[in-house]
Amino acid sequence: MNAIPLFHLAFPVRDIAEARRFYGDLLGCPEGRSAEHWVDFDFYGHQIVAHHAPAEIGHKATSDVDGHQVPVRHFGAILPMNEWQKLADKLTAAGTKFIIEPYVRFKGETGEQATMFFLDPSGNALEFKSFADMSQVFAK
């Protein structure tokens, strides 16, 4: 068993087939169990579940972080730097519209990290991060 507990997140989508294309095909998350109105994905070792709930989709609020308007409600993964860069390149090549383009924030400071924000087709905000030094993830 994984030494770190696995995370589970359920979230709304407007269309299950569209979620399969985005999370499965574009992000490369293997599909788990599913039914007509929901589908599980292996999200970098964690379980996320897209539920058909069109009335619940989208993000509404942002917060100023490092000069950017960050969607308050978001989720994502912290990847090794080479995987983060591959994903950034793949998303860019696919024509992804970024809320915050891939860049390094807090450069030269404690907590330096690569980050990018974008929306899935249902308007759920995702952030992917990377740290050159993983010991900095919780650094103050």
CATH number reported for the structural domain that contains residue 27 in this entry:
3.10.180.10
pLDDT in tens, 50-61: 999 999 998 889
Task: Point out the least confidently predicted range of 10-14, 53-57, 108-112.
Answer: 108-112
Same domain flag for 50 and 68: no
What number of other Cβ atoms are within 10 A of residue 61's Cβ? Answer: 9
Average pLDDT across the chain, whole number: 94
Same domain flag for 68 and 127: yes
Contact, 124 vs 13, CB < 8 A? yes
pLDDT in tens, 47-91: 999 999 999 998 889 899 888 898 899 999 999 999 999 999 999
Average pLDDT over every residue of 29-57: 97
- Give the model's pLDDT for residue 118: 97
Same domain flag for 81 and 35: no
Average pLDDT over every residue of 127-135: 93
- Give the model's pLDDT for residue 111: 86
Same domain flag for 30 and 85: no
Examine residue 3 and state whether it is found in any structural domain, yes or no: no
How many Cα atoms are found within 13 Å in the side-chain-facing hemisphere of 20? 13
Find the domain containing 99 and state its range. 62-136
For the chain, what is the domain count?
A: 2
Q: Take residue 120 and report the two structure tokens written for it.
A: 């899935």
